[in-house]
Protein backbone atom coordinates (compact mmCIF):
# COMPACT_ATOMS: atom_id res chain seq x y z
CA UNK A 1 0.00 0.00 0.00
CA UNK A 2 2.81 2.43 0.89
CA UNK A 3 4.52 1.78 -2.44
CA UNK A 4 1.32 2.36 -4.42
CA UNK A 5 0.51 5.59 -2.59
CA UNK A 6 4.08 6.86 -2.83
CA UNK A 7 4.17 6.29 -6.58
CA UNK A 8 0.79 8.01 -6.98
CA UNK A 9 1.93 11.24 -5.31
CA UNK A 10 5.63 11.43 -6.15
CA UNK A 11 5.27 13.77 -9.14
CA UNK A 12 2.48 15.90 -7.72
CA UNK A 13 2.73 19.37 -6.16
CA UNK A 14 2.22 19.31 -2.40
CA UNK A 15 -1.32 20.71 -2.75
CA UNK A 16 -2.23 17.98 -5.21
CA UNK A 17 -0.66 15.39 -2.93
CA UNK A 18 -2.87 16.61 -0.09
CA UNK A 19 -5.92 16.66 -2.34
CA UNK A 20 -5.26 13.13 -3.61
CA UNK A 21 -4.73 11.72 -0.12
CA UNK A 22 -7.77 13.56 1.24
CA UNK A 23 -9.88 11.78 -1.38
CA UNK A 24 -8.19 8.42 -0.83
CA UNK A 25 -8.62 8.61 2.95
CA UNK A 26 -11.93 10.47 2.94
CA UNK A 27 -13.10 11.19 6.49
CA UNK A 28 -10.07 9.38 7.92
CA UNK A 29 -7.31 11.94 7.40
CA UNK A 30 -6.05 14.51 9.89
CA UNK A 31 -3.21 16.98 10.39
CA UNK A 32 -1.64 17.59 13.81
CA UNK A 33 -0.38 21.14 14.28
CA UNK A 34 1.76 22.63 17.03
CA UNK A 35 1.58 26.04 15.31
CA UNK A 36 5.26 25.99 14.39
CA UNK A 37 6.55 27.39 11.10
CA UNK A 38 6.17 24.16 9.13
CA UNK A 39 2.75 23.46 10.57
CA UNK A 40 1.53 26.92 9.62
CA UNK A 41 2.52 26.26 6.00
CA UNK A 42 0.50 23.03 5.96
CA UNK A 43 -2.44 24.67 7.73
CA UNK A 44 -2.48 27.41 5.10
CA UNK A 45 -2.41 24.83 2.30
CA UNK A 46 -5.32 22.90 3.82
CA UNK A 47 -7.50 25.87 4.74
CA UNK A 48 -6.78 28.03 1.66
CA UNK A 49 -7.64 25.18 -0.70
CA UNK A 50 -10.57 24.09 1.47
CA UNK A 51 -9.31 20.52 1.65
CA UNK A 52 -11.44 18.04 3.66
CA UNK A 53 -8.74 17.35 6.24
CA UNK A 54 -9.29 17.67 9.99
CA UNK A 55 -6.78 19.92 11.76
CA UNK A 56 -6.12 19.30 15.44
CA UNK A 57 -3.62 20.28 18.11
CA UNK A 58 -2.38 18.83 21.39
CA UNK A 59 -2.71 21.39 24.19
CA UNK A 60 -0.27 20.14 26.81
CA UNK A 61 -1.18 22.76 29.40
CA UNK A 62 2.42 24.06 29.41
CA UNK A 63 2.43 26.01 26.15
CA UNK A 64 3.75 29.56 25.63
CA UNK A 65 1.24 32.40 25.57
CA UNK A 66 2.58 33.26 22.11
CA UNK A 67 1.51 29.81 20.91
CA UNK A 68 -2.06 30.40 22.05
CA UNK A 69 -1.96 33.76 20.30
CA UNK A 70 -1.00 32.28 16.92
CA UNK A 71 -3.66 29.61 17.44
CA UNK A 72 -6.23 32.39 17.88
CA UNK A 73 -4.94 34.37 14.91
CA UNK A 74 -4.97 31.30 12.68
CA UNK A 75 -8.59 30.44 13.42
CA UNK A 76 -9.56 34.09 12.97
CA UNK A 77 -7.78 34.38 9.58
CA UNK A 78 -9.21 31.25 8.01
CA UNK A 79 -12.51 30.91 9.85
CA UNK A 80 -11.83 27.20 10.27
CA UNK A 81 -11.95 24.96 13.32
CA UNK A 82 -8.85 23.53 14.97
CA UNK A 83 -9.80 20.77 17.39
CA UNK A 84 -7.91 20.55 20.69
CA UNK A 85 -6.99 17.39 22.59
CA UNK A 86 -5.93 17.67 26.23
CA UNK A 87 -4.13 15.41 28.73
CA UNK A 88 -6.21 13.33 31.12
CA UNK A 89 -6.56 15.39 34.30
CA UNK A 90 -6.11 12.41 36.63
CA UNK A 91 -2.79 11.45 34.99
CA UNK A 92 -1.40 14.97 35.27
CA UNK A 93 -2.51 15.29 38.88
CA UNK A 94 -0.93 11.97 39.85
CA UNK A 95 2.38 12.80 38.17
CA UNK A 96 2.62 16.26 39.74
CA UNK A 97 1.52 15.03 43.19
CA UNK A 98 4.10 12.25 43.20
CA UNK A 99 7.05 13.91 41.43
CA UNK A 100 6.52 17.66 41.48
CA UNK A 101 5.81 20.28 38.85
CA UNK A 102 9.30 20.09 37.26
CA UNK A 103 9.90 16.34 37.41
CA UNK A 104 10.99 16.28 33.75
CA UNK A 105 14.28 18.00 34.63
CA UNK A 106 15.28 15.16 36.98
CA UNK A 107 15.69 12.31 34.52
CA UNK A 108 15.07 11.19 30.95
CA UNK A 109 12.52 8.70 32.29
CA UNK A 110 10.58 11.46 34.02
CA UNK A 111 10.72 13.70 30.96
CA UNK A 112 9.37 10.94 28.74
CA UNK A 113 6.60 10.25 31.25
CA UNK A 114 5.54 13.89 31.08
CA UNK A 115 5.62 13.85 27.27
CA UNK A 116 3.60 10.64 27.23
CA UNK A 117 0.89 12.05 29.47
CA UNK A 118 0.72 15.47 27.83
CA UNK A 119 1.32 14.49 24.18
CA UNK A 120 1.48 10.79 23.29
CA UNK A 121 -1.69 9.62 25.03
CA UNK A 122 -3.77 12.56 23.72
CA UNK A 123 -2.41 11.84 20.24
CA UNK A 124 -3.56 8.24 20.55
CA UNK A 125 -7.08 9.51 21.20
CA UNK A 126 -6.83 12.03 18.35
CA UNK A 127 -5.78 9.32 15.88
CA UNK A 128 -8.22 6.67 17.03
CA UNK A 129 -10.38 7.04 13.91
CA UNK A 130 -7.67 8.35 11.59
CA UNK A 131 -5.99 6.28 8.87
CA UNK A 132 -3.63 8.94 7.50
CA UNK A 133 -1.84 11.31 9.86
CA UNK A 134 -0.19 14.41 8.39
CA UNK A 135 2.77 16.01 10.18
CA UNK A 136 5.13 18.95 9.69
CA UNK A 137 8.35 16.97 10.05
CA UNK A 138 11.39 18.13 8.09
CA UNK A 139 14.52 16.01 7.71
CA UNK A 140 16.94 18.81 8.64
CA UNK A 141 15.22 19.46 11.98
CA UNK A 142 17.04 16.74 13.88
CA UNK A 143 19.47 13.84 13.61
CA UNK A 144 16.59 11.61 14.68
CA UNK A 145 14.58 12.56 11.58
CA UNK A 146 17.05 11.95 8.76
CA UNK A 147 15.69 8.48 8.01
CA UNK A 148 12.05 9.56 7.77
CA UNK A 149 10.15 9.06 4.50
CA UNK A 150 7.56 11.34 2.91
CA UNK A 151 5.00 8.57 3.23
CA UNK A 152 5.43 5.80 5.76
CA UNK A 153 3.61 3.57 8.19
CA UNK A 154 3.40 4.46 11.86
CA UNK A 155 3.32 1.17 13.72
CA UNK A 156 3.13 3.07 16.99
CA UNK A 157 -0.21 4.65 16.07
CA UNK A 158 -1.33 2.00 13.57
CA UNK A 159 -1.90 4.39 10.68
CA UNK A 160 -0.16 5.83 7.65
CA UNK A 161 1.92 8.96 8.14
CA UNK A 162 2.50 11.69 5.56
CA UNK A 163 5.26 14.28 5.91
CA UNK A 164 4.68 16.72 3.01
CA UNK A 165 7.46 19.17 3.93
CA UNK A 166 10.08 16.52 4.70
CA UNK A 167 12.55 17.78 2.10
CA UNK A 168 11.83 21.50 2.47
CA UNK A 169 14.60 23.72 3.81
CA UNK A 170 13.95 26.30 6.52
CA UNK A 171 14.38 29.18 4.09
CA UNK A 172 11.62 27.70 1.87
CA UNK A 173 9.29 27.57 4.86
CA UNK A 174 10.08 31.16 5.84
CA UNK A 175 9.62 32.41 2.28
CA UNK A 176 6.21 30.74 2.05
CA UNK A 177 5.03 32.25 5.35
CA UNK A 178 6.17 35.71 4.28
CA UNK A 179 4.70 35.61 0.77
CA UNK A 180 1.34 34.23 1.95
CA UNK A 181 1.15 36.45 5.07
CA UNK A 182 0.53 33.40 7.25
CA UNK A 183 0.26 34.00 11.02
CA UNK A 184 3.32 32.73 12.86
CA UNK A 185 4.60 32.45 16.41
CA UNK A 186 6.42 35.68 17.36
CA UNK A 187 8.85 33.63 19.45
CA UNK A 188 10.51 32.70 16.16
CA UNK A 189 11.73 36.30 15.95
CA UNK A 190 13.46 35.86 19.31
CA UNK A 191 15.55 32.81 18.43
CA UNK A 192 12.99 30.13 19.22
CA UNK A 193 13.03 27.92 16.11
CA UNK A 194 11.49 24.68 17.38
CA UNK A 195 8.81 25.52 19.94
CA UNK A 196 7.27 23.08 22.39
CA UNK A 197 6.25 23.39 26.03
CA UNK A 198 7.53 26.52 27.76
CA UNK A 199 9.65 24.82 30.47
CA UNK A 200 11.37 22.63 27.87
CA UNK A 201 12.12 25.20 25.16
CA UNK A 202 14.72 27.95 24.94
CA UNK A 203 16.05 30.17 22.18
CA UNK A 204 18.99 28.77 20.24
CA UNK A 205 22.39 30.40 20.01
CA UNK A 206 24.28 31.23 16.82
CA UNK A 207 25.75 28.07 15.33
CA UNK A 208 23.42 25.69 17.18
CA UNK A 209 21.20 23.26 15.29
CA UNK A 210 17.48 23.87 14.86
CA UNK A 211 16.37 21.62 17.74
CA UNK A 212 19.08 22.67 20.21
CA UNK A 213 16.54 24.65 22.21
CA UNK A 214 14.32 21.62 22.87
CA UNK A 215 15.21 19.63 26.03
CA UNK A 216 18.60 21.36 25.88
CA UNK A 217 19.89 19.40 28.90
CA UNK A 218 19.67 16.10 26.95
CA UNK A 219 21.89 14.64 24.21
CA UNK A 220 20.95 15.17 20.55
CA UNK A 221 19.85 11.59 19.95
CA UNK A 222 17.26 11.75 22.76
CA UNK A 223 15.40 14.86 21.60
CA UNK A 224 12.00 13.40 20.73
CA UNK A 225 8.82 13.57 22.78
CA UNK A 226 7.49 10.22 21.58
CA UNK A 227 5.14 11.43 18.86
CA UNK A 228 7.54 10.46 16.08
CA UNK A 229 9.19 7.35 17.49
CA UNK A 230 7.95 3.83 18.16
CA UNK A 231 6.98 3.84 21.87
CA UNK A 232 7.50 0.61 23.78
CA UNK A 233 4.05 0.54 25.34
CA UNK A 234 0.57 -0.71 24.48
CA UNK A 235 -1.29 1.60 22.11
CA UNK A 236 -4.91 2.08 21.22
CA UNK A 237 -6.37 -0.08 18.46
CA UNK A 238 -6.57 2.35 15.56
CA UNK A 239 -8.17 1.13 12.31
CA UNK A 240 -6.72 1.27 8.84
CA UNK A 241 -8.17 1.47 5.38
CA UNK A 242 -8.70 -1.82 3.59
Domains detected in the chain = 2-189 (3.40.50.620)
Residue 161's H or E segment, with its range, is strand 159-162
Closest CA to 45 of 177, 178, 184: 177
How much of the chain is helix, strand and coil, in % rounded to 5?
Answer: 45, 10, 45
pLDDT at 219: 75
pLDDT at 232: 43
Going from the first residue of the chain to its last (242 residues), give the mean pLDDT of each consecutive group of 10, the final group possibly shorter.
Answer: 93 97 98 97 98 98 98 98 98 98 96 95 96 94 68 93 95 97 96 94 88 85 53 40 34
pTM for this prediction: 0.88
Closest CA to 228 of 168, 143, 171: 143
pLDDT at 209: 83
Paired strand residues for 31: 55, 134
Residue 91's H or E segment, with its range, is helix 89-99
pLDDT at 96: 98
Do the beta carbons of residue 68 and residue 40 sit within 8 Å?
no
pLDDT at 224: 54
Q: pLDDT, tens digit, for every residue of 160-189? A: 999 999 999 999 999 999 999 999 999 999
pLDDT at 140: 83
DSSP state, 238? -
Alpha carbon distance 24, 138 (integer Å): 24
Question: Catalytic residues, which ones?
Answer: 225
Closest CA to 126 of 29, 231, 194: 29
Q: pLDDT, tens digit, for every residue of 186-212? A: 999 999 988 999 999 999 988 888 888
Amino acid sequence: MITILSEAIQDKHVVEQLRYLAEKFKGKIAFSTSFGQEDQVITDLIFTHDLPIEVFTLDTGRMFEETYQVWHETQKKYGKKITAFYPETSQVEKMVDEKGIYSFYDSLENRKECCDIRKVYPLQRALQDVDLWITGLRAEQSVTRTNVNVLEESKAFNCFKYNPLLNWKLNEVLTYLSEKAVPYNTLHDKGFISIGCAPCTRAIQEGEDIRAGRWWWESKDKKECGLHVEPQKPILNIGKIQ
